[in-house]
Amino acid sequence: MLMRHPLPDLQFAYRLPYGANVHERGVQFTIFSRSATAMRLLLYKDVNDREPSEIIEFDRKADRWGDVWSIFVPGLKPGQLYHLQANGPFDPESGQWFDGNARLIDPYAKALAGCCQQTTDGVIRPPKCVVVDDAFDWEGDRHIRRPLSDSVIYEMHVRGFTQHKSSGAKHPGTYLGVIEKIPYLKSLGVTAVELMPVHEFPILDVYGNVPERQNYWGYDPMNFFSPHRGYSHSKEPGAQVTEFKEMVKALHQAGIEVILDVVFNHTCEGNERGPVLSFKGLENQVYYILNSGGAHYSNYSGCGNTFNGNHPVCRELIFHCLRHWVHNYHIDGFRFDLASILSRDRYGNLMPNPPLVDLIAEDPMLADTKIIAEAWDAAGAYQVGSFGDLRWAEWKTAEWSAPWQLASADPPTCMNTLVVLPTAVSTSLPLMTGSP
């Protein structure tokens, strides 16, 4: 019999077509922007640097193919810090927000480092992007593929799960802290953890100050491809990538699946009064659903803007992102926040057979994953019992909070974690309308 011994260099991974990709002799940077007239790469030596150590101009003739800008920079290695910068039309009334002074987060960045820095010149300095090598020794780890009907899902806030001293964790409030509490999860009979948002979201406000009301829950995405730096024990740029993978591998070894709560319905850039941090400064008219000729943002999320998920470019980004988490982080499933927004077209109208919803269910690279919808949005769409077709499950709202009493007697002490029993999600209308 052939004995299989997986080698790290030969294990399957998913290479993104955009962002920063590591090669033997350097790094390739690839960005989409249809309306940009110039593109620059800002390189930094240290996470605390306010100004770049080097600025590299893209050649509009040599480094642009269609609407894609791409340049290879020899000698760069994983850990390199960078921003993007783009010139283009500034006409907010028509939805164009280019600013040649803005430091921009790469929409496909695989990690961020630092926080927004304080400013005296009016220039927003957001967290820096980190060049990441996807290589990791998974030791043969694969998706568990447990049927949803056999699952007991524990909804978890990574920081809240171990932050309190009563957890006894050596690494409280971190991905490593979750690893320490795996025996506790096993004692509950948990078969999967559903992590509340772990993609990047702001820690400080855009001017580097501690906000009056800090974002604890994470439902305000800054970048979809990057695990949140605030949950890493090490503060080394990019360390969160390795620590997150170590957490997933350890949970899998214990037979526990990992489901992510993903927020593809809006970003932290807000409406026309919000900051230019990433998407706005690269192609605002594509990334967001706009109205009034582009002057205003449609707000189906209740958070100021709506990500334009059914635009082909945005649809592609969402697919690359899901595949990235599934194959580079071995994620077992997703719970889609305000999933009904995925059913809206580029003008905000609800579609009977939304292509994005169907494609997620049919994508062969996501076939091993669970897909769960929060089947409504903040603008009146309510699709509970009728969301999607093949494979889609839904949150069963009537019983969502019922297991709380089973899981904890004191919500503040348990830091808002709860056990979600199998009856809280469903794949059929009879189960949705029946009693538990």
Enzyme catalytic residues: 337, 374
- Do 132 and 20 touch, CB atoms closer than 8 A? yes
Who's near 221: CB < 8 A, 6+ residues apart? 197, 199, 200, 201, 263, 266, 267, 268
Identity (one letter) of the amino acid at 139? E
The one-letter amino acid code at 6 reads: P
**Which of 114, 109, 112, 103 minimizes the C-alpha distance to 41?**
103
Distance CA 108, CA 225 (A): 6
Tokens 């609800």 map to which residue?
A: 350
Task: Please give the helix or strand (H or E) that residue 432 lies within, else none.
Answer: helix 429-433
Please provide the distance, in angstroms rounded to a whole number, between the alpha carbons at the two ends of the chain: 48
Structure tokens at 400: 């969502």
> 403-428 burial, b for 16+ CB within 10 Å, e for fewer?
bbeebbeeeeebbbbbbbbbebbbee
Burial of 233 (0-12, 13-18, 19+ CB in 10 A): middle
Which residues lie closer than 8 Å to 436 by C-beta, 6 or more apart? 399, 402, 421, 423
Contacts of 230 (CB under 8 A, 6+ apart): 159, 203
CA-to-CA distance for 201 and 160, rounded, in angstroms?
16
